[in-house]
């Protein structure tokens, strides 16, 4: 885990991404998707660094997907450091963020509450 990479604006875990060797994260301004990323444009227009800093509960762009939405809600409720602590703990206990591409253990959920509990405990 590259904890210093932190959490992306949208809630995804840059710190665990399999592409973090070639990507410096969306907050550096070097993201190749920065011109079209709806989340980046929205957070920048609001003067915030992450969706979890916003009071609005929206499902724009990638937040339509359960994983970034759950990570965003988790960080809003418990804080970014707690989210990073949980992700680090889970990784040490064998939870995989990306497995063969971009799907991993956090992607196999349809229920927001179950995913939130999995983030918190690393157990199903």
Predicted TM-score (pTM) of the model is 0.91
Helix (H, G, I), strand (E, B) or coil at 65: coil
Helix (H, G, I), strand (E, B) or coil at 122: coil
Six-digit token string for 20 = 């973090």
pLDDT 10s digits, 3-61: 988 999 999 998 898 877 777 777 777 777 777 889 999 999 999 999 999 999 999 89
Per-residue pLDDT for 66 more than 80?
yes
d(CA 26, CA 18): 15
What pLDDT is recorded for position 42? 94
| Spatial contact of 13 and 31, defined as CB atoms under 8 Å apart | no
Strand partners, 103: 99
């Amino acid at each position: 885990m590259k904890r210093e990479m932190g959490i992306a604006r949208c809630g995804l875990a840059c710190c665990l991404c399999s592409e973090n060797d070639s990507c410096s994260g969306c907050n550096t301004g070097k993201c190749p998707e920065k011109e079209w990323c709806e989340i980046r444009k929205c957070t920048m227009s609001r003067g915030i660094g992450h969706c979890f800093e916003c009071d609005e509960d929206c499902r724009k762009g990638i937040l339509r997907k359960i994983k970034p939405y759950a990570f965003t809600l988790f960080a809003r409720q418990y804080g970014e450091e707690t989210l990073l602590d949980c992700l680090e703990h889970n990784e040490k206990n064998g939870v995989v963020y990306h497995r063969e591409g971009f799907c991993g253990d956090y992607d196999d959920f349809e229920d927001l509450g179950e995913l939130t509990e999995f983030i918190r405990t690393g157990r199903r």
